[in-house]
Homo-oligomer: A and B are copies of this chain.
């Protein structure tokens, strides 16, 4: 029997879908989606809703986080900054970095978890094989855990869980297949909402992941370059 209620930060992408499948094995799900003014917000919300239905989640909350686009500084939220083409080997922080985004999302998730008495927050952060955002590293989540411990009521116990943080993208694909994740419902493209572009960083990592896993990505792409 699944006793524990947990919050899952669900963007609608494949990483959070696999994370959802993992959380779903042991827990009741409270599904949280944050629309932070990213270009593909509508498409991601659709993916979130379809995944919520697929996993028959117990609670669902969609929050508009307008302030991240109001603050700007990222190609994801500011249409004056172009979305860069995929450069999977770059060690620079890309223009798609939304300043301190994940702290904002985790703060919201913690507020909700505290109010609904959820005991964990699951999120699909990936440290390696991702765009190198500073707020996707384990060190960041370890630090945030201490903020939760210090900044919530003494009776509140909320643990951050990042079950795929050390996995490579192809391992996430394989894990997802093992758990029956409906990849056809997920959305990863940073740029388009109709057909995935295939050339932004996010499409690049995803396509390479499926390629290395020896599986076919079930969604459609405008272009389908082969990434090494």
Contact = CB atoms under 8 A, between A and B. Distances in A.
Contacts of A40: none
Nearest to A103: B107
Given A64-B66, A150-B143, A151-B134, A104 B100 contact: no
Nearest to A34: B67
A114 B107 CA distance: 17
Given A72-B115, A111-B99, A134 B146 contact: no
Interface string A64-87: 111110111100000000000000
In this complex, the interface size class of chain A, counting residues with CB under 8 Å from chain B, is: 35 or more
Contacts of A66: 63-64, 66
Which of A98, A100, A103, A153 has the most chain B CB atoms closer than 10 A to its own CB? A100
Chief secondary structure at chain A's binding surface: helix
A57 interface: no
Contacts of A72: 115
B110 A103 contact: yes
A152 interface: yes
A111 B115 contact: no
Contacts of A153: 93, 97, 99, 134
A147 to B, nearest CB: 4
A137 B101 CA distance: 24
Given A104-B108, A140-B150, 20 more contacts: A63-B66, A63-B71, A66-B66, A67-B111, A71-B111, A71-B115, A73-B111, A73-B114, A98-B111, A100-B107, A100-B110, A100-B114, A103-B107, A103-B151, A134-B152, A140-B147, A140-B151, A143-B143, A143-B151, A147-B147
Interface of A: 61, 63-68, 70-73, 93, 97-104, 106-108, 110-112, 114-115, 134-135, 137, 139-140, 142-144, 146-154
